[in-house]
Structure 1
Amino acid sequence: MASNNKLKLKLLIEKKSQKVLFAETGKDVVDFLFSLLAMPIGTVIKLITKESMTGCLGATYGSLEQLDNTFLLSNQTKSHLLNPTTSTAVSTNSLLLSASDDASSGGKINKYYTCPGNGSSLEFHNCVTDAYGAACLVCLKGMIKQVEFVARPTVNREEDKGERGFVKGVVTYTVMDDLSVMPMSTISSITLFNRFGIKDLSTLQEKTVGLGLPEGLELLKASLQSNNVLTDVFLTKEEVRA
C-alpha cells in the first residue's frame, strides 16, 4: 500500500519514558481495529503465523462493550462483533481484507459445482461441492456444473449518509496504547493527562504515523503479545528526541 494511501494516527508520546500515551484518529482506524474482532481465529493465525494468543485484543473487545450505541452506524450492532460466527465478515475497508481472503482460501478463488440436472423442475438435488467431478449423493453423477456462490453483504450502506464500516465518521476517537477505544473529548483528554500524571506539556511530543498493510499485520501480531501495541509498532528509542 502506498504511503499516501495509509490511514493516519496522531500519537501523543511521553518523551522521557518513550511511550505512546494515546493516539488521536478517525473512523477508518477504529473500523480497522473493530474488524479484527470479526476475523476468525484460524485466519488470524495464518496471517501472523503461529504466535502465542496473548495480548490486548481483550481491551479492544471491552471498549466496544462500553461504547455507547449512539456512536455505531444505524445498521450495526455490537452482538455480531462481540459474538462473531465463522461467517462474520471483515469490514470492507479493513487493511487486512485481501490478506484475509488469501489466507482463508490459500490464494485461490473457490469454485462450486453441482450435478448437470440439478436445478431443473424434474430433478433437484441439494448437493454442492468444491471438488470438480465429485459424485452427487442422490444421482451419483459427477458434479461438473459450476454454480455461483452469492455471499451475504459484508457491510450494508448507512441509509442516510452512505457510510460503511462500524462507527460514525463525525467523531474523533482516542486509541490507547493497549488498543482500547473511546470517543475523544476535552474532558476525556484532561482525565487522561491526570491519569498519566502529566503536569508539563513540554514533556509530550506529537507524531503522525501511517497505518498500511505492513503496519496492520504488525499491529495484529503485537495485539496478541503485548499491552503496549502502539509503542511497540510505531515507536523506537531512536525516533523520540528530546
Structure 2
Amino acid sequence: MATNHEASLPLRLLVDKEKNRVVVAEASGDIVDIFFSFLTLPLGTIIRHVSKNQQHDDEAKKIGCINNLYQSVENSGANVFHNHICKRMLLCPRNPCETLCQKLKVRMDHESEPLKYFMCNKGCRRLSTFAEASCCCGKLMDREIKLHGDSSEKGYEEGVFVKGGTMYLIFDDLKVLQSSPGNSVQQLLQLGYKNFHKLTEMLINVGVKEILDLLKQALTSKSPLTDVFLGNGDSKQMCTFTPKLRPENQHWMIIYKCNLKVTVRKSKRKILYAEAEGDFVDFLFSFLTTPLGSILKLLDGNLSLGSMNNLYKSVKDLNPSWFTRPLGTPLLNLRVAPQFGCSEQPTQLYEEETPTYWYGTGVIKNNICYVVGNGVVSKDKTLVNHPTAMNLFEPRSPDGTRESKIGFVRRPSLFVVWDDLQVMPLANTSSISFLQKINVPLDDLEEHELRIGETEALNLLGASLTSKSALTEGLFFLLKKPKEETVKA
C-alpha cells in the first residue's frame, strides 16, 4: 500500500497548446479538498513548506517579508521565549482543522504526527497536547493518553470538506465550480472557446511534490496550474495590499493596544526600524500561527494574494449542499488553533474555543465498559466511565493555567523590529554600537511615537504578505501631517 508521501491522485487538464496555458482542470472532490486545505494552513506552516523548496533565484517570489519573521524566531535564543515550547509553537503552528486534514488523500505535512495528549505520572488532572511540558507538580507531562471517540467528526459523508463521489472544475486561477455541462459551456465561452478544437487533453497524477509546488505558485501567481504543469514558473508575481485609513471622525472610538517608537530616515521617507516591547512582538509572531483563510477574511477587499482569493471566494460561492457538514464548512470561519493565539492583540484574530476533555477508567459502548489501560480521555462525557473534567495545560504559563498566559516572549523585554520584519532582541546590546552599525547620519533620523490599534495592525498584517518594507507600507501614513486648513479672509 502506498504511503501518503507516495500517494497520488488523477487530474484531467484541458490545455491550449498554442498559448501554452491550462484552461481548466477536472478533478474529484479528493483534489478539491487538498486545494481548500490551503486555507487552513497557518502562515508559519506555509513558510516552512515553501522554504524547503525555495531556490536562491526565487528571492523575488517570497511572500512579502513574512519569511523574515519566521527566520527571526528560528534565530532567536531560548532566553527570548518563556520556554522551549513557545519557539516550537511558532515554527510548527497547529492547524485548526488538523483532525480533518489528517484524512486528506495526499497531505503536504505527511511527516507530522496526529495530535497527542499527555499527563504527568503523578496523575494530576492536567492534560497537555505538548510532550514534556512541566506540570504544576514539577513532573514532566510525558505519559501519553489515548483520546477516544472524537464524536464531532462522526456521521459525515465521505469527503473532508466537499462531498466525495462527484467532479469539480478547477480553473487556472483556482476558481472552483461544480462540474456540469452548463457550467462547462458557460465558462469555456467566457474564456473565448467556442469548441474544443484548440484544446488538448492531458491526464496527470498529482502527488506531494505537485501539491507543494501548487501551494507555492498559488500564493503569488494568477496561473498556478499552468506554472506547475506546463513549466511556466516565471509568471509575474501578483500580490497587492491597499492599506486601510483610520477614520478621521472616529478617533474617540479607537481602542489602542500598544505604543510603538519608530525611527524614520527622512531622506528616504521610510521607517528604518521600531523599538518595541514584548506585546508588539507577540502580535507580530502571532501572524505565524494564523490560518491563511482567516487572514483573507479579515483583509477582504484590501489583500490580493496570488490565486488564494479565488480559492476562498469559491468556498463562499459553492452551494452549501456540496459540503460535507450540514451546518456549514469550517473554511469560512477559520480561527487560530486552541492555545496558539494571543489574547491581548489588536486585531480580531480569534482563537478556537478550547475543548473540554473528560478522563475516565474505561470506554462505555452499548452499556458495556471496556477498560483501556489506566484510563482514557474523551471530548464526549458519555464515552468514559466515571468522567472527571480535565484542565488543559497552558504551555506558555509558569503555572500552566489559562489565566496566566501572556504570549510567547519573556517580559520585560525590548526588541528592534526592522522595516522588513526582522526582529532582534536588544538585551545586552550597546546603543552606541547599534547606531554605528546602521551607518546613517544622525541628523537624517527622526523619532516618532505611534499608537497601534486595529487599523494599524491590519495594515501591518497585509503589508507583511505583500511588501519587503512592512513597517513603512503599513504605518507610514500615520506620519503624514494633515493639510493645514485654509482660513478664509
Q: Normalization by structure 2: what TM-score?
A: 0.34
C-alpha deviation, 1:211, in angstroms: 0.5
How far residue 152 of structure 1 moved from its aligned partner, in angstroms, is 8.0
Distance 1:87 1:234, change over 3 A: same
Q: How many angstroms does 1:97 deviate by?
A: 5.0
Q: CA RMSD in A?
A: 3.4
Look up the equivalent residue of 2:28 and give its one-letter code: G
Deviation of 1:94 after TM superposition, in Å, equals: 4.4
Q: Which letter does structure 1 place at the counterpart of 2:19?
A: S
1:39 aligns with 2:36: no
Distance, in Å, in 2 between the alignment partners of 1:191 and 1:88 is 34
| Structure 1 residues 235 and 145, CA gap change in structure 2 (3 angstroms) | closer
SS at match of 2:161: coil
Closer, same or farther in 2 for the Cα pair 1:48/1:152, shift >3 Å? farther
Task: Say whether the 8 Å CA contact 1:156–1:164 is kept in structure 2.
Answer: no
8 Å CA contact 2:108–2:212 kept in 1: the answer is no
Q: Supply the distance in 2 between the matched residues of 1:101 and 1:151 (Cα, whole angstroms).
A: 20
Counterparts of residues 2-81 of structure 1 (less than 5 Å): 5-49=7-51, 52-53=62-63
Question: What does residue 104 of structure 2 align with?
Answer: 93
Identify the residue that residue 164 of structure 1 maps to in structure 2. Answer: 159
| Secondary structure at 1:37 match in 2 | helix
Question: Is it true that 1:148 corresponds to 2:145 in the alignment?
Answer: yes
Counterpart contact for 1:10–1:208, Cα < 8 Å: yes
Bigger relative contact order, structure 1 or 2 (CA pairs below 8 A, ≥6 apart):
1
Instruction: Classify the secondary structure of the residue corresponding to 1:178.
Output: coil
The structural deviation recorded for 1:131 is: 2.6
Partner SS, residue 209 of structure 1: strand
In 1, the alpha carbon distance for the partners of 2:176 and 2:102 equals 17
- Report if aligned partners of 2:10, 2:206 keep a CA contact under 8 Å in 1: yes
Report if aligned partners of 1:113, 1:131 keep a CA contact under 8 Å in 2.
no
Q: What secondary structure is seen at the aligned counterpart in 2 of 1:96? A: coil
Offset at residue 125 of structure 1 (A): 4.9
Deviations 1:159-188 (A, max 9, x none): 5xx513121223210001111211011111
Residues 1:213 and 1:145: Cα distance change in structure 2 (over 3 Å): closer
Match of 1:218 in 2: 213
SS of corresponding position for 1:202? coil
Shift of 1:16: 1.3
Instruction: Give the TM-score of the pair, scaled to structure 1.
Output: 0.65
Asked which structure has the greater CA Rg, the reply is 2
How many aligned positions are there? 190
Partner letter of residue 221 of structure 1? K
What amino acid does structure 1 have at the position aligned with 2:220? Q
SS at match of 2:147: coil
Residues 144 and 153 of structure 1: is their aligned pair in 2 closer, same or farther, counting only changes over 3 Å? Answer: closer
2:15·2:22 contact (CA, 8 Å) conserved in 1?
Answer: yes
The residue aligned with 2:192 is 197
CA deviation profile, 1:178-225 (whole Å, cap 9, x unmatched): 112110111111111211111352111111111001111111111112
Shift of residue 20 of structure 1? Answer: 0.6
2 CA distance for matches of 1:170 and 1:144?
43
CA deviation vs aligned residue, 1:138-163 (integer Å, no higher than 9, x gap): x44x336613263885983545xx51
Q: Is the 8 A contact 2:14 2:22 kept in 1?
A: yes
Structure 1 residues 182 and 158, CA, compared in 2 at 3 Å: closer, same or farther?
A: farther
Residue 67 (structure 1) aligns with: none
> Whole-Å Cα distance in 2 between the matches of residues 183 and 44 of structure 1?
27
Query: 1:87 deviation in Å?
Result: 2.8
Matches within 5 A, 1:103-182: 112-114=118-120, 116-118=121-123, 124-126=124-126, 128=128, 130-131=131-132, 134=134, 136-137=135-136, 139-140=137-138, 142-143=139-140, 146-148=143-145, 150=147, 153=150, 156-159=153-156, 163-182=158-177
Q: Distance in 1 between matches of 2:97 and 2:149?
A: 10
Letter in 2 for 1:35: S
The percentage of counterpart residues that share the same residue type is 26
- Kindly report structure 1 stretches of 4+ aligned residues shifted beyond 4 Å: 1-5, 151-155
3-state SS of paired residue (1:147) = strand
Structure showing the higher strand proportion among its residues: 2
